[in-house]
Amino acid sequence: MGSNTFRLVVFRYRRGGSFQLVDEIRDAVRLSAGAGPKGLRPEAVARAERAARLYAAFCRATGIEEVDALATSAVRDAANQRAVLRALGAGGALPVRVLSAEEEAWYGYLGAVNSTTLGDGHVIDLGGGSAQVTEVRGRRLQRSISRPLGAVRMTEAFLPDEKASRGQTKALRRHVAEAVADAGWIRPAGGRAAGIGGTIRTLAAMDQRRAGYPLDELHGYRLRREAVEALVGDMAALPARERSRLPGLKPDRADITLAGAIVVSELLGAIGADEVEVCAQGLREGVFYERFLAPADPPLVPDVRRQSVMNLVAAFRCDVPHSEHVAALATGLYDELARVGLQGVDRRERELLWAAGMLHDAGVLVDYNDHHKHGHYLVLNAGLPGFGHAELALVALLVRGHRKALPTVEGYEDVLGPEDAGRLDRLAACLRVAEQLERGRARGVREVRAQAVDGVARLLVRAEDDPSVALWSAGLEAPAFERAFGRGLELAEA
């Protein structure tokens, strides 16, 4: 129950296994709008009570077993907190817990580090009422601050007019700098930053639309500080009522995102970060992780990237024994080709191949026919927290390219680098050969050894039973192999 937006998220999970977000409701309540010395305004509390009762009814109707109802800055600071909590309790149906500033920072941190690979750096969480800045070292929370710098509060305090003046925006910038000046550990040292909250997601969506970005995925997007400043200029040039014309800016955020963008830019400057990695997860997910990972202390996912892949394997009901065997054959072949000098060894590259091997049949959930195309869409749109956007695109393209037409980077040039076309060819060749060696789904091929002889790559296949079908089928991938490695392909029984 945030200061600007109320959100209800529903997770299905198996403790110690996989989890999926299965539903979400969002309502721009504006609980903190017009708050003053007497507390939250009656009309804002009435909006919040309607949303709370709706959420309680939803939980009853859907049979949700465990409910955590959490209130943040607006309720924490309200002079009329007791009356507000009565309204939010929905007649006793929702046991609302008011988070302290430290708890709010803690749960935001958990949401960020369990969905990114952030090891050292900062987490910036900007809500409607407050902002938290957390220092992370070795994935552990070191220290944090919370300041009343939320987008709604700063809009009302500094940019209340329909059109923001230069003097008003300068005053807001000074205020942000002064608000964090007493935290001696916040200094422009640079490094990595992850950002959570609706304002940061909105700015990322606006920047993507502005640039014609080819992926429709916010999580993992790297938002440059200079891009934030460009968006500040775009919004400041328009009256608040017209800002929703800007692509990516929702009408219910059009009036508060300018102030939020200024706060984000100034906080990035305070820690010396040139960009912020957008994190679509946050406080709500942090609370979930505490339950999902119990009794771990701290509740940290051991391997975020592996967890992301296995979540999709479960969500798309992949044939796990078959997928694991294809992934093992593909990565084993990758290692063998490196051993005989046909390519180098790259740990991240190998991990992408493993991920694609695990997910290559994800599209069968839709239909076997064209399942490589269905899988490409599913992986690309489900996302893989912990993987960068270029990596996500490569895994999705490998899923598409594991059968039929060879994959290309066409349409993804703005996401992928100059070396990724060759990388895609090599990884696709390994995956396609592995898939054909497992054509019968009997997991009969146990090992593949490679030899590089006279311009030809010879693969020696050890199998439990007659491998003739596997050898014939894998041999059909000779064109893909030659395109990737510049060598012919021969297969024989070991």
Q: Buried (b) or exposed (e) across 441-462, using 16+ Cβ within 10 A?
A: eebbbeebebebeeeebbbebe
Strand 69-71 and strand 488-493: pairing?
Answer: unpaired
The domains of the chain are located at 6-98, 102-285, 305-493
Instruction: Please give the C-alpha separations between residue 91 and each of 32, 206, 276, 331, in angstroms, as whole numbers.
Output: 22, 39, 41, 56
**Beta strands at 96-98 and 140-147: parallel, antiparallel or unpaired:** unpaired
Q: How far apart are CA 199 and CA 422, in angstroms?
A: 38
Structure confidence at residue 150 (pLDDT): 97
Query: Per-residue confidence at 488, pLDDT binned at 50, 70, 90?
Result: very high
- The predicted structure's pLDDT at residue 15: 84
CB 381 within 8 A of CB 338: no
What is the distance, to the nearest Å, from the Cα of residue 369 to the centroid of all Cα atoms in its chain?
A: 29
> pLDDT (tens digit, 9 = 90+) per residue, 420-450?
999 999 999 999 999 999 988 999 999 999 9
The stretch 159-164 carries a mean pLDDT of 96
Would you say 225 and 306 are in contact if contact means Cβ atoms under 8 Å apart? no
Q: What is the pLDDT of residue 448?
A: 98
Q: What pLDDT sits at residue 140?
A: 98
Please report the sign of the dihedral spanned by the C-alpha atoms of residue 233, residue 239, residue 241, residue 245: negative
Inform me whether the pLDDT recorded for 11 exceeds 90: yes
Residue pLDDT, tens place only, 356-374: 999 999 999 999 999 999 9
Confidence (pTM): 0.95
The reply to whether 305-493 shares the fold of 6-98 is: no
The CA distances from residue 100 to 47, 64, 156, 214, 295, in Å, are 23, 26, 23, 40, 22
Would you place residue 280 in the very low, low, confident or very high pLDDT band (cuts 50, 70, 90)? very high
pLDDT band at 480 (very low <50, low <70, confident <90, very high): very high
d(C-alpha 325, C-alpha 146), whole Å: 48
> Could you read off the pLDDT of 228-245 as tens digits, one per residue?
999 999 999 999 999 999
Q: Which residues contact 480 (CB under 8 A, 6 or more apart)?
A: 406, 425, 428, 429, 432, 433
Q: Alpha-carbon distance 426 to 485, whole Å? A: 7
pLDDT in tens, 187-239: 999 999 999 999 999 999 999 999 999 999 999 999 999 999 999 999 999 99
Which homologous superfamily does the CATH classification assign to the domain defined by 6-98? ATPase, nucleotide binding domain (3.30.420.40)
Q: Say what the pLDDT of residue 383 is.
A: 96
- Encode pLDDT of 285-316 as tens digits: 999 999 999 999 999 999 999 999 999 999 99
Q: Hey, which bits of 75-227 come out as E strands?
A: 96-98, 121-126, 131-137, 140-147, 192-196, 222-224
pLDDT tens track for 168-180? 999 999 999 999 9
Nearest to 141 by CA among 98, 100, 107: 107
The CA-atom distances, in angstroms, between 458 and each of 20, 451, 487 are: 43, 5, 10
d(CA 445, CA 441): 10
3-state secondary structure of 37: coil
The correct CATH number of 305-493 out of 1.10.150.20, 2.130.10.10, 1.20.1250.20, 1.10.3210.10 is 1.10.3210.10
pLDDT of residue 275: 98
What pLDDT score was predicted for residue 307? 97
Give the 3-state secondary structure of residue 173: helix
pLDDT of residue 326: 98
Angle, in degrees to the nearest 10, between helices 151-158 and 257-271: 110
Q: Is residue 65 pLDDT above 90, yes or no? A: no
Predicted local distance difference test score (pLDDT) of residue 16: 78
Cα 348 to the center of its chain, rounded Å: 18
Mean pLDDT, the chain, integer:
97
What kind of architecture, by CATH, is found in domain 102-285? 2-Layer Sandwich (3.30)
CA 176 vs CA 89, 150, 166, 185, 274: distances in Å: 34, 10, 16, 16, 18
> Is the distance from CB of 18 to CB of 310 less than 8 angstroms?
yes
